[in-house]
Amino acid sequence: MLAKRIIPCLDIKDGQTVKGVNFLDIKSVGDPVELGTLYAEQGADELVFLDITASHEKRKTLVELVQRIARHINIPFTVGGGVSELSDADALLAAGCDKLSINSAAVRNPQLIDQMAKGFGSQFVVTAIDAKYENGKWTVFVNGGRIATDKELFSWAKEAQERGAGEILFTSMNHDGVKTGFACEALAQLSESLSIPVIASGGAGNMEHFKDVFTKGKADAGLAASIFHFKEIAIPDLKKYLTDNNIPVRL
């Protein structure tokens, strides 16, 4: 079995790391360069940087901040937010990121996934999906969870894979920031229906939640923010716990 990945997430607003609950009540939690450096030193497998208001504000990702973070870390670095064309990918690759996360722009222009996979390789393309469970189905949202679309989680994830996405980053809006566990049932269905890795996001509150997301949820990676930012769980302790529970991780 491949090692499961632990991925801290830096949600960025106005140049600062922030965190909310259910995509609302956003509060600043620290300097992204300092946090990214700390997580790399603690043994995080990857780092994700999401400029959460770029699409809504119709602007590009903060390239200079990406450069500053990239200079301080030595782990794979995924960047998203405001990416809408190939020139954005060029700029962010030059700034030091390893993978690009596309969300709202891919929903509005699915061919962007094809173009990026063809131009840079599928391993470079992460399709991020924010979805909320309501009225018996998972509805995909864009613009940082502000606008509902006519797309449904599982069919959209399948289409993204077929277009060349190398990974799916699924955030459950229902679970975001509430720390009651990941959306394991939906994650398991996603993982079983796709042949590419699934990154789980939304709901991590304790170490057992990570064990559950890798066993019940069948995810390839677990992404979290609050529990790391507020030092509720240290990455080395989490990896030891997972190892003790027979879940393979890189130590």
Those residues with Cβ within 8 angstroms of residue 233's Cβ, 6 or more apart along the chain or in another chain? 206, 207, 227
Give the pLDDT score at 28: 67
pLDDT at 60: 59
Token digits of residue 156: 């959209």
pLDDT, tens digit, for every residue of 107-143? 999 999 999 999 999 999 999 999 999 999 999 999 8
Backbone angles phi, psi at 187, to 5 degrees: -65, -40
Is residue 193 in a domain?
yes
Query: pTM of the entire structure?
Result: 0.92
What distance in Å separates the CA atoms of residue 147 and residue 140, rounded to the nearest whole number? 9
Q: Evaluate whether residue 251 is within a structural domain.
A: no
**Angstrom distance (rounded) from CA 51 to CA 66:** 10
**Per-residue pLDDT tens over the stretch 137-185:** 999 999 888 999 999 999 999 999 999 999 999 999 999 888 999 999 9
**Contact call for residues 179 and 205 (beta carbons, < 8 A):** yes
Asked if the structure places residue 250 within a domain, the reply is: no
SS3 94: helix
Range of the domain at 142: 5-244
pLDDT for residue 18 = 81
Q: Are 233 and 207 in contact (CB under 8 A)?
A: yes
The reported pLDDT for the residue numbered 54 is 61
Q: Where are the beta strands (DSSP E) in 15-156?
A: 16-21, 24-30, 47-51, 77-80, 99-102, 125-134, 137-142, 147-152
**Is residue 102 domain-resident?**
yes
Number of domains, the chain = 1
Name the residue among 174, 175, 169, 173 with its Cα closest to residue 156.
169
| Positions marked catalytic | 11, 130
Rounded Cα distance between 215 and 188, Å, is: 9
Domain assignment of residue 109, yes or no: yes
Residues forming beta bridges with residue 236, ordered by sequence position:
none
Q: For the segment 189-204, what is each residue's pLDDT rounded down to a tens digit?
A: 999 999 999 999 999 9
Asked if 68 contacts 36 with a C-beta cutoff of 8 angstroms, the reply is no
Asked if the structure places residue 88 within a domain, the reply is: yes
Residue 175 included in any domain: yes
* pLDDT number for residue 14: 79
Q: Using the predicted structure, report yes or no on whether residue 241 has a pLDDT greater than 70.
A: yes
- Residue 214, in any domain of the structure: yes
Positions of E strands within the chain: 5-13, 16-21, 24-30, 47-51, 77-80, 99-102, 125-134, 137-142, 147-152, 167-172, 198-201, 221-224
CATH code, domain carrying 167: 3.20.20.70
pLDDT in tens, 38-92: 999 999 999 999 886 665 555 556 788 899 999 999 999 999 988 888 998 899 9
